[in-house]
Structure 1
Amino acid sequence: MKILLIDDERRLSDSIKEFLESQEYTVDQAFDFNDALMKASVYDYNCILLDLMLPGGNGLDILR
C-alpha cells in the first residue's frame, strides 16, 4: 500500500513514516500545501493522511 503523509510538523511526520514503513507500507511525505497538491495530483496513492492546517493553504482544498 502506498501512502501520502501530509503534515508540516517534520518530527511527527518522520515518526509516523518510520512506524508505517516498519509495517511494510510505502510512504511519501509532503510538508506544505503546494508539494502536497502536486504529489496528490501526479501520483496514485491508496491512502492520504492529511493535516488540515498547512503552510500555504488548507488541507481540505487538497481533499477536494
Structure 2
Amino acid sequence: MTKVTIVKCPTCQTNVEWNEHAAYRPFCSKQCQLIDFGEWADEEKAIPGAPDMSDADGWSEDGYLDKEL
C-alpha cells in the first residue's frame, strides 16, 4: 500500500498531493506559484537573518571607499 503525502498550498491552503504528477508542488497551480514568486520579488517575504548592508553603504559619490587605506 502506497502512502499518499498531502501538503497545503502555501498560497491558498488547498490540499496538494506530493507526487511526480503535481507539476507545481508545493503549490496547487501555476497561478499560486507566481503569486508566491511575486511576494518574494516585492520583498514581502524574506528569510530572517542579520540585515545586509545596502550597496551604497561605505561608498562615496565619486565611487571610492569612504575609509582610509
The alignment's TM-score, normalised by the length of structure 1, stands at: 0.28
Higher helix proportion: 1
Structure ID, larger Rg: 2
Higher strand proportion: 1
The alignment's TM-score, normalised by the length of structure 2, stands at: 0.27
Higher RCO by CA contacts (8 Å cutoff, separation 6 or greater): 1
